[in-house]
Structure 1
Amino acid sequence: MTTQTDSFDMTAAPIRIDAVRLRVRDIETVAGFYRDVMGLATLSQSADQVTLGAGETPLLHLDGDTALRPRDPRQAGLFHTAFLLPARGDLARWLTHAMEARVPLQGASDHLVSEAIYLADPEGNGIEVYVDRPPSRWHDSTGAIRMSTDPLDVQGLLKEAGGKSWAGFPEAGIIGHVHLQVGDTDKADAFYRDQLGFDIAATYPGASFYGSGGYHHQLAGNVWNSRRAGPRDAGAAGLAEVTLGVSPQARETITSRLGSDRFNDPWGTAFALS
């Protein structure tokens, strides 16, 4: 039987996702989407910058620039930002909200460790909305994390709404992981495992999932659209930066290896430590 304590404490992980920054061409439209569809609250706003979050916690920063080129889906960069909801009922209520609002959805999957819905914002930045299964159910008989991509039981999920309506992104919601497009998985492993200190928690053909503290993944990298991609186009819209929350020990290790608390991966995707 699952107990109330059978959940993952992300704050205890040596490395986690604190926030994501996107460069967008139409900041008003994109910010409106994250408010109306995702339920994020506006925490600060100016003509060319918007910060959105859950409660008082910033999760998403938008930098607007009409001169940006549209993102190229074949380049290295963002595959999706994954918003983790606290409970299955929250995911059910969000899905009901999205369906009633006729939000275009791109997929729905049961990953064994989690249940997930996929969509994109108005500029094509991928989004996952998901809920974790209890960590006691993540592992196979050998203790390895077991992931898959199976059909989601949508009708079973919707029953979890409990007659309640979506009331905005919960204060306990976070960005659980960021999935990246990379040009080569071996090179990605050498950076995210050997330089940043992640474990390779699981692999798919063409993808690695990087976990910290026993989580199934705070970061992932795949080549499904971006195999052999080179350095990113600095003048294009899309992912600007991922902010990693780190423990003091992880910070010391990363900065000693990379020489700074701000750095890029091999394809120019920017990271900052908080």
Structure 2
Amino acid sequence: MEQAANTQNTSLLPDNTLIGLATLTVADLTKQVEFYTTIIGCNILARTEQSVILGAGKTPLIILTQDPEAFPRPLPTTGLYHIAIRVPTRANLGYMLQHFIDTGYPLGGASDHLVSEALYLSDPEGNGLEIYRDRPRATWPRSNEGGVQMGSEHLDANGILAAGRSEQLDWHGLPEGTDIGHMHLQIAELNQAETFYCTILGFSLMQRWHGALFVSAGGYHHHLGLNTWQSRGASPAPAHATGLRLFTLTVPDEQALAQLEERLRAAQTAFTRNGTGITVSDPWKNTIIVTAQPLVDSQELQKIISSSF
């Protein structure tokens, strides 16, 4: 595989910055809820006639909102590449893989990324998903410059299944401690993406592959993947297309929010600031809500859903 150029800049975001949750516009809410509960193993935290909040334990991960005018996202357009759901252990990943085998749900791929092990699939409306577990950070390979070195190697599926069997895990859905480890987006231009996500939002550029950037805070391998593999020069998805509606980013305190607001003003980037946090869109209309605490209150989440069109 092509080696990545390793470029680690100082992050302007605090080390404990995290991805929060993702929201999707869907055409068939019933079918999508069935997939995310029975195949992925989410539990329902709250629901209305048009929206369902899904999570692991009490942690919200994905919000599905039905749009009566929704139609399949046309390609090539910018938008979601995949939502990456991170499970706590290798045994948990083996438990998930065995469940996919038992249900017969097709996987789109699987890879050993050196820092993590990952399974790939898509939901019934074509939204990409990654289910992965991180290796311990101390074992992540490093480049000569000291940056994290990722790759894409053959996955040891038998070893992963054996790890699941060793703990005799029965299927009860996503385990406690599951979260969204990263988001991966399709964007149209890399330099513009680096300016927005690194210079303005404040992530550090961790790796650059041909056609892709990987950025993070706190030395994580990546909180965001940004690629042009199928979307170079593409336009944003039109209104009412199915797919990514927004995702959230959690910073540790109000000071981090204030510093982000200063960078946005200095760059003359449009945003809104309210009681929830800062809402901003990248150059391709991928919307991000940055908050100073995780969004877990169902009523607050419903407000976000209703106002995000």
Normalised by the shorter chain, which TM-score bucket? over 0.9
Paired letter, 1:266: P
Q: Indicate yes or no: 2:247 matched with 1:247.
A: no
Superposed CA deviations along residues 75-118 of structure 1, whole A, max 9, x for unmatched, are: 11100000000000000000000111001100000000000000
Partner of 1:165: 170
Shift of 1:176: 0.3
Look up the SS of the partner of 1:155 in the other structure: helix
Distance 1:200 1:238, change over 3 A: same
Look up the SS of the partner of 2:260 in the other structure: helix
CA distance in 2 between counterparts of 1:253 and 1:14 reads: 15
- Please tell me whether the aligned partners of residues 24 and 63 of structure 2 are also in contact (alpha carbons under 8 angstroms): yes
Shift of 1:171: 1.6
- Please tell me whether the aligned partners of residues 79 and 236 of structure 2 are also in contact (alpha carbons under 8 angstroms): no
Partner of 1:196: 201
TM-score (structure 2 length as normaliser): 0.82
Shift of 1:46: 1.5
Match of 1:216 among 221, 230, 246: 221
Match of 1:234 among 236, 239, 258: 239
- Please tell me whether the aligned partners of residues 116 and 128 of structure 1 are also in contact (alpha carbons under 8 angstroms): yes
| Greater mean alpha carbon deviation, residues 138-147 or residues 75-84 | 138-147
Superposed CA deviations along residues 47-98 of structure 1, whole A, max 9, x for unmatched, are: 1100001111111111101311211242111000000000000000000001
CA distance in 1 between counterparts of 2:282 and 2:176 reads: 31
| Greater mean alpha carbon deviation, residues 136-145 or residues 79-88 | 136-145
| Greater mean alpha carbon deviation, residues 152-161 or residues 80-89 | 152-161
- Please tell me whether the aligned partners of residues 73 and 237 of structure 2 are also in contact (alpha carbons under 8 angstroms): no
| Greater mean alpha carbon deviation, residues 165-174 or residues 180-189 | 165-174
Paired letter, 1:154: A
CA distance in 2 between counterparts of 1:141 and 1:221 reads: 21
Match of 1:71 among 73, 77, 95: 73
Q: Indicate yes or no: 2:152 matched with 1:146.
A: no
Q: Indicate yes or no: 2:282 matched with 1:265.
A: yes
- Please tell me whether the aligned partners of residues 90 and 166 of structure 1 are also in contact (alpha carbons under 8 angstroms): no
- Please tell me whether the aligned partners of residues 143 and 149 of structure 2 are also in contact (alpha carbons under 8 angstroms): no
Specify every segment of 5 or more residues in structure 2 that has no aligned partner in the other structure, as ranges. Answer: 1-13, 265-270, 273-277, 292-309
Look up the SS of the partner of 1:19 in the other structure: strand
Identity rate, percent: 41
Q: Indicate yes or no: 2:262 matched with 1:256.
A: yes
Partner of 1:3: none
Shift of 1:190: 0.7
CA distance in 1 between counterparts of 2:150 and 2:170 reads: 30
CA distance in 1 between counterparts of 2:196 and 2:92 reads: 35
Aligned length: 263
- Please tell me whether the aligned partners of residues 80 and 185 of structure 2 are also in contact (alpha carbons under 8 angstroms): yes
Superposed CA deviations along residues 179-225 of structure 1, whole A, max 9, x for unmatched, are: 00000111111110011100011121111011111101111100111
Superposed CA deviations along residues 125-152 of structure 1, whole A, max 9, x for unmatched, are: 0000000011112132532100001110
